[in-house]
Every structure is written in C-alpha cells, then in structure tokens.
Amino acid sequence: MNIITISREFGSGGREIGKRLADLLGYDYYDRQIIQEIAQNKGLSEEFVEKSLDASPWQTLNLNYRSSFYGVSLMPTMSTELLLEERNVLEEIAKKGRDCVIVGRNADIVLEDYHPFSIFVCAERDAKLKRCRERASEEEELSDKEMISYFKRIDRNRAATRELISDSKWGDPTSYTLTVNTTGWDLKELTPALAAFAKAWFEKTE
C-alpha cells in the first residue's frame, strides 16, 4: 500500500495538488472527510471539530486562563480527545490497505510506520496572495496585509499542532521526503512530476 501525505502553507495549492495526484494515480483521496468522520464518531458538528483542531494550542491556554476570570469561553479550544480521535481515523484509513493521498492533519507523523511519501508544499508570498485572490471567497475583501497576517496565523497554528504530537518541525525540509515550491508552476504540469517522484520512492530498495 502506498500513502502520499501533503502538508502545506496556506495558499500554496497543496490541496489541489493532493486531489490531482489522487486522480492521476487512481488513489483514494482524504481531506475534509477526516473531519467529517471525527465529528460523526464524537457526535459533534464538523465546524466545531475543524475549529478545535485548527485552533492554536497556545491561544487555547490563554483562553482557558482567561475563562476562569471572565466566565466560560465558548470559543473552541484544542482538544486532546479530538487529536486522539483524529489519530484513530487516520489509522483506520491506513488499515484499509488501499493506496491513498491524505491532505493535512499531520498524517505523515501519525502514519510514519507506513513510510509515506510526504510532500510539503510552499510558495512565495506573492504567489500565495495571487492564488487566494483568484479563489472566490470572503477573504477577497481583505487587504494584502490582512491576508498575509491570516496566512501566517493559520500556518503558525499548523506548526504548533505538529509540535504537540511530534519533534518533527513543520515546514523544515528534513521533516518531509520532498518540499516543492509551487511558484511559477501550473499545478496541472507539476502533478505528473510529483507522481513520478512518489513512484520512485515506493519502488526504492533502500
């Protein structure tokens, strides 16, 4: 069984690469579905699960601390229980024994025993801004400065969540098999090159 995992900077096109890789290789594809399964297993809303898992663990500490002064906070906080359920859902996916692409959720850490081909996707700041502007979304109304600050916050939270479960540093190229900079690439043209690289990884003898 071959597992490809994708970690990414916000706005770098990592999710689209994941979907395209799965389509090209005929692999199963997981991304949003993981949140849906955690929500279902725990009887919680998807939105709550997603916000909890993507909250900053450090922000959480502050919120909990503040809540003892200002009353109970209704803001979602990073939940160890949800992190453990996330691990269960990822392990269930691997146990199916089917080739797959998994976007996000630190799947490369949780499933490291399966020797996944782990990709980190990044891009230059202006390329990320351009990609986000092209998407039709509410973020369109943000200024460049606000968007950059939004990127950074999301990426900081991703890095902090990885630190909770691993010594492997988010975004450090020695934490992944391959790190690709999507700046200047058409993702359609990039995907076959990544697929060939993944195949070489799965076929290697060492």
Site residues, its own copies (CB under 8 A): 120, 122-124, 171, 173-174, 176-181, 183-186, 189-190, 192-194, 196-197, 199-201, 203-206
CA distances from 47 to 11, 101, 158 (A): 20, 23, 17
Report the residue number, 80 or 205, with the smaller CB distance to its own copies: 205
| Distance of alpha carbon 166 from alpha carbon 17, whole angstroms | 25
Give min distance, CB of 97 to its own copies, in A.
22
Report the residue number, 48 or 197, with the smaller CB distance to its own copies: 197
Report the residue number, 23 or 47, with the smaller CB distance to its own copies: 23
Give min distance, CB of 16 to its own copies, in A.
14
Which token pair is 204? 């290697």
Give min distance, CB of 140 to its own copies, in A.
23
Which token pair is 97? 């024994």
Which token pair is 110? 């949780």
Contact status, residue 138 vs residue 80, Cβ threshold 8 Å:
no
Instruction: Give the residue among 10, 12, 47 at the shortest CA–CA distance from 32.
Output: 47
Report the residue number, 1 or 61, with the smaller CB distance to its own copies: 1
Give min distance, CB of 137 to its own copies, in A.
23
Give min distance, CB of 178 to its own copies, in A.
6
Give the CA count within 13 Å in the CB-facing half-sphere of 97.
0
Report the residue number, 17 or 78, with the smaller CB distance to its own copies: 17
- The structure tokens 């992190």 sit at 83
